[in-house]
Chains A and B, each alone.
Chain A
Amino acid sequence: MAHEEDDGRTGGDGVVRRRPLRERHVEETVEIAVPVRTAYNQWTQFKTFPRFSAVVQGVEQVRPTVTAWTIGYGPLRHRFSVEILEQDPDAYLAWRGLEQHPTHEGEVEFRPTESGGTAITVRMFLRPPGPAKALIRSSRVTELTARLVRGELVRFQHFIEGLGQEGGAWRGTIRNGRVQHDTPEPPRSRVAQWPVG
Chain B
Amino acid sequence: MQNPPGEEPETSLSVTPPKKWAAGVPAVVHALEYSLEQTSPRKTGVDLLTMNQVGGIDCPGCAWADPAPGRRHRNEYCENGAKHINDEATTRRITADFFREHSVSDLAARSDMWLNQQGRLTEPMFKRPGSDHYEPIGWNDALGVLAQELKGLDSPDEAVFYTSGRASNEAAFVFQLFARALGTNNLPDCSNMCHESSGFALNETLGVGKGTVSLDDLHHADLIFLVGQNPGSNHPRQLSALEEAKRNGGRIVAVNPLPEAGLRRFKNPQKPRGVVGRGTQIADRFLHIKPGGDLALFQALNRLLLEAEDARPGTVLDHDFIDAHTSGFEEFARHARTVDWDDVRAATGLTREEIEKVRDEVLGSERVVVCWAMGITQHKHGVPTIREIVNFLMLRGNLGRAGTGVCPVRGHSNVQGDRTMGIWEQMPDSFLDALQEEFGFDPPRPHGLDSVKSIKAMLEGRVKVFLALAGNFVRAAPDSDVTEKAMPSCRLTAHISTKLNRSHTVCGDTALILPTLGRTERDVQADGEQFVTVENSMSEVHTSQGRLEPASRMLLSEVAILCRLARLSVDGVGDIPWAKFEGDYGTIRDSISRIVPGFHDFNARVTRPGGFQLPNPVNEGVFRTETGKARFTCNDPVVPRAPEGHLLLQTLRSHDQWNTVPYTNNDRYRGIHGSRHVVLVNPADLSALGLAQGDRVDLVSVWEDGTERRAENFEVVPYPAAKGSAAAYYPETNVLVPLDSVADMSNQPTSKGLVVRLEPVGDRVRDVRTTGAGRPR
Contact = CB atoms under 8 A, between A and B. Distances in A.
Nearest to A66: B402
B249 A99 contact: yes
Interface in B143-201: 189-192, 194-196, 198-200
B379 interface: no
Interface string A40-65: 00000000000000000010101111
Contacts of A62: 214, 216, 613
B210 interface: yes
Contacts of A63: 214, 613, 615-616, 619-620
Given A179-B619, A186-B620, A98 B220 contact: yes
B208 A193 contact: yes
B552 to A, nearest CB: 33
Interface string B202-217: 1100011110001011
Given A191-B614, A196-B195, A197-B196, A98 B249 contact: no
A197 B222 contact: no
B216 A81 contact: yes
A128 B557 CA distance: 54
Given A99-B220, A177-B401, A179-B400, A194 B209 contact: yes
Nearest to B245: A100
A177 B200 CA distance: 27
A188 B615 contact: yes
Interface residues on A, range: 35 or more
B321 interface: yes
Given A100-B222, A188-B615, A196-B210, A181 B597 contact: no
Interface string A59-87: 01011111010000000000101010000
A197 B598 contact: no
A194 B424 contact: yes
Contacts of A65: 401-402, 619
Main SS class of interface, A: loop
A180 interface: yes
A79 B71 contact: yes
B219 interface: yes
B427 A194 contact: yes
A98 B217 CA distance: 9
Given A64-B619, A189-B617, A196 B420 contact: yes
Contacts of A197: 189-192, 194-196, 198-199, 415, 419, 424, 746, 748
A175 B111 CA distance: 57
Given A62-B216, A195-B202, A68 B68 contact: yes
A177 B207 contact: no
A3 interface: no
A192 B208 CA distance: 8
B408 to A, nearest CB: 8
B168 to A, nearest CB: 16
Contact of A179 (B248, B419, B620): B620
Contact of A60 (B68, B616, B622): B68
A75 to B, nearest CB: 15
Contacts of A60: 68
- The residue among B68, B320, B613, B621 with the most chain A CB atoms within 10 A of its own CB is B621
Interface in A145-197: 172, 175-181, 184-186, 188-197
A193 B419 contact: no
A140 interface: no
B208 to A, nearest CB: 6
Interface in B733-768: 746, 748
A68 B216 contact: yes
B32 interface: no
Nearest to A101: B249
A179 B397 CA distance: 13
Interface of A: 58, 60, 62-66, 68, 79, 81, 83, 98-101, 172, 175-181, 184-186, 188-197
Which 10 A-B pairs give the minimum distances between C-beta atoms? A197-B191, A195-B199, A195-B209, A191-B598, A100-B249, A189-B617, A179-B621, A197-B196, A83-B402, A177-B401
29 contacts: A63-B613, A64-B620, A65-B401, A65-B619, A66-B217, A66-B402, A81-B219, A83-B401, A98-B402, A99-B249, A100-B222, A101-B249, A176-B320, A178-B400, A179-B619, A181-B621, A189-B622, A190-B597, A191-B616, A192-B419, A192-B598, A192-B614, A195-B196, A195-B199, A195-B202, A195-B209, A196-B195, A197-B189, A197-B195
